[in-house]
Amino acid sequence: MELETKLHEIKKPIMVLGTSSGAGKSLTVTAICRILKNSGEEPIPFKGQNMSNNAWVDWEGGEMAYSQALQAFACGINPSAEMNPILLKPQGNSTSELIHLGKSIGITTAKNYYKDWFIPGWEVIKKSLNFIYRKSPNCRLIIEGAGSPVEMNLIHRDLTNLRVANYLNANCILVTDIERGGVFAQIIGTLELMKPEEKKLIKGIIINRFRGDLSLFEDGKKWIESKTQIPVIGIIPWLNDTFPPEDSLDLLEKKSSFSNPEIKVGIIKLPSISNFSDFDPLENEKSILIEWIRESQNLRKYDFIILPGSKQTIKDQIYLENSGLSQDIREYSNSNGNIVGICGGLQMLGTTLEDPYSKEGSKIYSEQKIKGIGLLPLKTTFLEKKLTRQINSESLWPCQAKINGFEIHNGQTKLDKTQNSLDVKPLFKDLDLGWYKEDNKGGSIAGTYIHGIFENDSWRDEYLNLIRKSKNLPLLNKKSISYKDKRESIINNLANEFDKHLNLKSFLS
């Protein structure tokens, strides 16, 4: 039976809308998911459409936004692509890869997206909602909106805000960021631009990121409630969150708070960087300082550098060559530096990249075959079909350990037998997942297709211990808290802070 005929039977969904992008919707949903889980409910996150290159792969091989995967972890359940049925992965020049229910279905321009994909998009959203409720009829959906719900030039074709709210008759919360200023205008302006039937869906307002004494906003709270006739259900203080931002530009604002780091890591800030949540486990290591490298420089100040994933590997490799960073990386390696490449970063460390099907933007750059950085004898060919899967393997270096993670890539990488490859060894028992080589002076180069490699505690600790040993630092304690336990602690702390300042009782009818 279709969901439309059963809406009176389901638990009232909660939807979090924002007065703008970056208002705090993702973290608010994450917190509510954990609060409700802890109260004995069965929350499930949902975001009809997301735009992000920070992706996750579910256990069926489906791609979804990492933020919805994180929200699923907060619910204590496995992420599923139905929780984010439409994912747009920007790749420059106003084009995006379009993912429906976890599978890539093509490339679209911004201009043609709503003309070609609005109706199919709404159908896939409804299909996902039906799937979720058939599988979990007693769940409560916690839905995240996108950007602002009242972008007037887009509202008639907005798939993921008020259309979803109206369809499910959800209880909506409007979140606004007081840190940005203009909070009263943000709230009043957003509500005034809604139709009366839409405005009726807004049952509560959250003031997010308030600095200082919360009691100082009491008069502001009363004014908002008097003006809107909507209760302010929470004033959330400024929280030092450590979750990955949706927009990779925000990475430039992430600054380490550690004043005396033992290890300094440089991450190349590629123009088309993807899957930057790969580095969260390093962000949570108190001994590590992370810096983002955006221009040519001497890299010797770093104990190791990382080449991250890329949505357009060929475009980013051309950028590295033109900026001088490729040469910087080669010189760093020649000086016994330590390098880790992940996915696109692995591909760029090789000798050649070939794109016969123009999957990586090579048509735009009139290139079908280019040279890589050349530090590993690897040849990559980008194929028509993307590989997306969860990984369970075992590492061979720097230690033998169980490895979990996931793959997302078009490229197929092989050892180049025409070059000296005798000193290059497989990184895992699954031979096509990565390679490494060490020099006789302590430097190393490792590349892997596994996203989430640093989430594997034994592997991360052993790699960091190689670095620490070269610096005569004490080795890491093997009894240290695992990253996934730290993530759980972060989610719990987030939920606890929200729970102190948020009244959800009226939303749980």
**Separation of alpha carbons 361 and 355, rounded Å:** 9
The rounded distance, in Å, linking the Cα atoms of 322 and 330 is 14
Q: Are 404 and 428 spatial neighbours (Cβ–Cβ below 8 Å)?
A: no
Tokens of 108: 């679209």
3-state per-residue secondary structure call for 177-200: EHHHCCHHHHHHHHHHCCCHHHHC
Cα-based torsion angle of the residue sequence 111, 92, 383, 279 in order, rounded to the nearest 10 degrees: -130
Q: Are strands 14-18 and 171-177 parallel, antiparallel or unpaired?
A: parallel
Q: Give yes or no: 343 in active site.
A: yes
Q: Return the DSSP state at 244.
A: P
Catalytic, 172? Answer no
Rg (CA), the chain: 24
Alpha helices, DSSP H only, in 64-175? 66-75, 110-135, 162-168
- Residue 163: CB atoms within 10 Å: 18
Q: Which residues contact 289 (CB under 8 A, 6 or more apart)?
A: 256, 258, 261, 263, 264, 265
**Among the options 33, 172, 343, 409, which is catalytic?**
343
Contact 403, 456 (CB under 8 A): yes
**CA angle 400–404–410, rounded 5-degree value:** 115
Catalytic residue among 33, 172, 409, 451: 451
Q: At what angle do helices 218-228 and 183-192 cross, to 10 degrees?
A: 10
Known catalytic residues are 343, 451
